[in-house]
Amino acid sequence: MHTPLLSCADPLRPAKADPHFAAETQAARSLGAETALIDHDALLAGDARAAVRRVPRGFGAAWYRGWMIPVARYGELASALAEREAGLIVSPEAYRRAHELPGWYSVFADRTPASVWADGVPDVRSLGPGAGIVKDYVKSRKHDWDTACFVPDLADRAGLRGVVDAFRALQGEFLAGGIVVRAFERFMGPETRVWWLDGRPVYVGPHPDTPDVSVEPDLAGIAELVAKLDCRFVTTDVVRRADGAWRVVEVGDGQMSDRPPALDPEVLIGALTSERVQPSGRFPTAGGGRAGED
Ligand SMILES: Nc1ncnc2c1ncn2[C@@H]1O[C@H](COP(=O)(O)OP(=O)(O)O)[C@@H](O)[C@H]1O
Ligand SMILES: [Mg+2]
């Protein structure tokens, strides 16, 4: 038996997968797994029952691969699926832990930039002097770096407030949770995205922002933190700091992490839907031996 896969329907052709995820649903079907589609627009509009109308009754507990879902809406999706004897393998609690910075921060605190968060402008005194980064619980406005992301000097409280205000205005209704401020660290080289399934790195490769470059990370110590987080399917974006230390820039729920073109949909979906997880990927032994020793 294969674990089924839920994905997002194409808003224009609801019986078909959204083109962004079509290769993954196709891979699932060709591997022998059941697939079904949810209406992501209906879910975000607050009509979870309508969102799952096309999920067959008795579909069972499934992985989801699709567009991001706010934590509260994810809970509504789980409830609506349960009414149809379907469900999500990743519980709403586990989803929150992996998806939102306050959920994973304490576990990764030694390996990720120091961070504070609040509904308004956070108290940044504990971050010390220097530059900072503004984001919400899930996303930054990294493409608006100078106006709504980077804070040159956290001691300049008016400057910080200006960046937070600009960030809030741009996020609008899509602001996830509250405002996070992180101490700026000097990184070098591209980020590498590590896909972890049941504590094992099933794929290590480029970050979607830099699809053509990736470096082999040193995952020593990171696998232990992923195990401690206790979420079955997560990604960690890791990068080398100027002093050489490997840092975790962010953690994400693997169900919503963007798949770089280099990650073959069959590799990802095969790992998810088959009963036995087979480590594979571009750097199959990078930390994998350590994580897979048990
Ligand atoms: N604390 C930090 N120090 C230095 N650069 C950072 C820091 N946090 C984020 N960045 C940079 O900003 C980018 C976006 O931040 P990230 O937390 O990954 O948000 P997003 O969810 O939008 O990708 C990162 O890829 C990294 O280049
Ligand atoms: Mg990122």
CA distance linking residue 226 with residue 236, whole number of Å: 9
Q: Is 251 in the pocket of ligand 1 (CB under 6 A)?
A: no
CA distance linking residue 175 with residue 70, whole number of Å: 10
CA distance linking residue 291 with residue 162, whole number of Å: 43
Residue type, 210: T
CB 62 within 8 A of CB 232: no
Closest residue CA from atom 24 of ligand 1 = 249
Give residue 214's pLDDT.
Answer: 80
Atom of ligand 1 nearest to the CA of 186: 4
Which regions of the chain carry the CATH code 3.30.470?
187-291
CB 207 within 8 A of CB 236: no
Q: Is 112 in the pocket of ligand 1 (CB under 6 A)?
A: no
CA distance linking residue 165 with residue 148, whole number of Å: 8
For ligand 2, a single-atom ion, the residues with CB < 5 A are 250
Domain 187-291 CATH (choose: 3.30.40, 2.40.50, 3.30.470, 3.60.21) = 3.30.470
Closest residue CA from atom 22 of ligand 1 = 140
Give residue 275's pLDDT.
Answer: 63
From first to last of the 294 residues of the chain, give the pLDDT tens digit: 899 999 999 999 999 999 999 999 999 999 999 999 999 999 999 999 999 999 999 999 999 999 999 999 999 999 999 999 999 999 999 999 999 999 999 999 999 999 999 999 999 999 989 999 999 999 999 999 999 999 999 999 999 999 999 999 999 999 999 999 999 999 999 999 999 999 999 999 999 999 998 899 999 999 999 999 999 999 999 999 999 999 999 999 999 999 998 999 999 999 999 864 444 444 333 333 333 333
Ligand 1: distance of its center to the CA of 42 in Å? 30
Give residue 128's pLDDT.
Answer: 87
